[in-house]
Amino acid sequence: MITYYSTEHQRHHGVELKDAAIKPSFEKPGRADTILAQVRQAALGAVQPGQAHDSSLYVGAHSERYVRFLQQAWSDWTATGQTHDALPLIWPVRDLRSDLEPATIDGRLGFYSMDAGSPITAGTWAAISASADLALTGMATVQAGAPAAFALCRPPGHHAGPEMMGGYCYLNNAAIAAQQARRQGAQRVVVLDVDFHHGNGTQSIFYGRDDVLFVSLHGDPVHCYPYFSGHADEIGAGAGLGFNLNLPLSKGTAWPAYQAALQVAAQRVQAYAPDVLVVSLGVDTFEHDPISHFRLASADFVRLGESLATWGLPTLFVMEGGYMVDDIGRNVVNVLQGFEGGRAGAQPV
């Protein structure tokens, strides 16, 4: 399996507002570099750079004006004399206007975000555009006939909506890849999100469409970030009614319950009969993840990969979350090797 990786991700690392304090973000460069080291140690396959793509290919998953905002945000921020990371301080909630883009960067930061955990830094655009390009390159590989590819994307993307950054996410890499698959002739695409946190951005992008089925297994939003998205009764709207499946799971979920939910997902995907599968691969379902509360062991990630292999679909894995840096590489490679082996009893690395 080819892994696509870019060093550009190292240009982005900022601060977040968490637990009433400004502190370095949990989402840091060491995450991707640890995964890359494990991919190489496991001899998973070739590691290649992504191909550069025009930012117009990000439009479709996102709006033109949102992409333009991300491109210009740092220069707009520093033009005001600021030199520290840019974070929003006001959001257009409930009774406030959310249809008019503010003229100032302070207003636009809130207009295009959902939290104070996704800073804009000097290297953010370079990192997020390179990340999206990895997903596009991986999709091109799969559409050219490869059974699978792995886009080692950082920053992640699944919380980013049509016009919204948040949850460490800016461009929705998985959604951009799925949209590109449709442009290139795939009739039906599935995005399966196995990150601990609900992929609210991906859901929002495809909620009114029937050409992309979104399926997510995640922590119950009654208790878990992003709190306001991911409930079981969110099933799509308009043309997309019935093409959004959320499987929220309770605190302490271990492999037996997770596997049962995965089987429900498999039945829905089989009925949809897609041409290609995009997996938003988060491994923050790990039992020792510092900001999540599922109980999957490292060996369970082999089982997850094996299960996905039985779906028999061309598959693009797109990296999302996972914050136990010491174990993230092992858990990601377990999924990928389990998928490649496609056999019962595959051994964890």
Tokens of 18: 């968490």
> Is the dihedral angle over the CA atoms 64, 164, 128, 139 positive or is it negative?
negative
- Rounded CA gap, 134 and 156, in Å? 11
pLDDT at 281 over 60: yes
Contact in structure between 247 and 261 (CB atoms under 8 Å):
yes
Q: pLDDT tens digits, residue range 39-85?
A: 999 999 999 999 999 999 999 999 999 999 999 999 999 999 999 99
**In the prediction, which pLDDT does 317 show?**
98
Q: pLDDT tens digits, residue range 291-349?
A: 999 999 999 999 999 999 999 999 999 999 999 998 999 999 999 999 999 844 434 44
Average pLDDT over residues 197-223: 98
Q: What percent of the chain has pLDDT over 90?
A: 96
pLDDT at 116 over 90: yes
**In the prediction, which pLDDT does 345 show?**
45
Query: Over the range 324-348, which residues count as b (16 or more CB within 10 Å of their CB) and which as e?
Result: beebbbbbbbbbbbbbbeeeeebeb
**In the prediction, which pLDDT does 18 show?**
87
Q: Which of 53, 62, 158, 159 is catalytic?
A: 159
Tokens of 255: 């492999």
| Mean pLDDT for the chain overall | 96
> Is the dihedral angle over the CA atoms 156, 158, 163, 166 positive or is it negative?
negative
Residue 148 phi, psi (nearest 5): -165, 160
Q: pLDDT-based confidence at 188, cuts 50/70/90?
A: very high
- Rounded CA gap, 325 and 61, in Å? 29
**In the prediction, which pLDDT does 342 show?**
84
- For the question of residue 288 being annotated catalytic, the response is no
Angle at 285 between CA 279 and CA 286, to 5 degrees: 120
Average pLDDT over residues 104-121: 97
